[in-house]
Amino acid sequence: MSELDVDGLALVAIVGMAVGTYVTRVGGYWLVSQFELTLRFRAWLRYLPGAVLVSLIVPDLVNGGPAEWGAALAALAVAWRSGNILYAMLAGVGVVFLLRRLPVIG
């Protein structure tokens, strides 16, 4: 067997998830294009990604420890300073990675 052998079931699962993701994204764009969007609805849509991100992060902060809080603060500081969400996410991931490796915190 070579190093590139792929389990058939895993490949089907990956392709299935990719198709499902594509269909939901295209379906959402198609559905929104069928309606005339009001200014209020457009404003609501602008805030939706941030709300989803917060709903994913808050449970980890509530149940997390110093590493998670440190990562959140680092990400917040980088986002506020740079205005770049990618840099903020990278900073948060890097800080939580490093803090979890400390014997006192991890």
Alpha helices by DSSP H, listed for the chain, are 8-33, 39-63, 66-82, 85-101
pTM over 0.85: no
Task: Answer for the pair 101, 84: CB distance below 8 angstroms, yes or no.
Answer: no
Long-range contacts of 97-103 (CB under 8 A, 24+ apart): 99/66, 99/67, 99/70, 99/71, 100/67
**How sure is the predictor about 2, in pLDDT bands with cuts at 50, 70 and 90?**
low
- 33-85 pLDDT, tens digit per residue, is 898 989 998 899 889 888 998 898 899 899 989 999 999 999 999 999 999 98
All structural domains of the chain with their residue ranges:
1-35, 39-106
69: nearest Cα among 77, 61, 80: 61
Q: Which residue has the higher pLDDT, 1 or 105?
A: 105
- 87-106 pLDDT, tens digit per residue, is 999 999 999 999 999 887 65
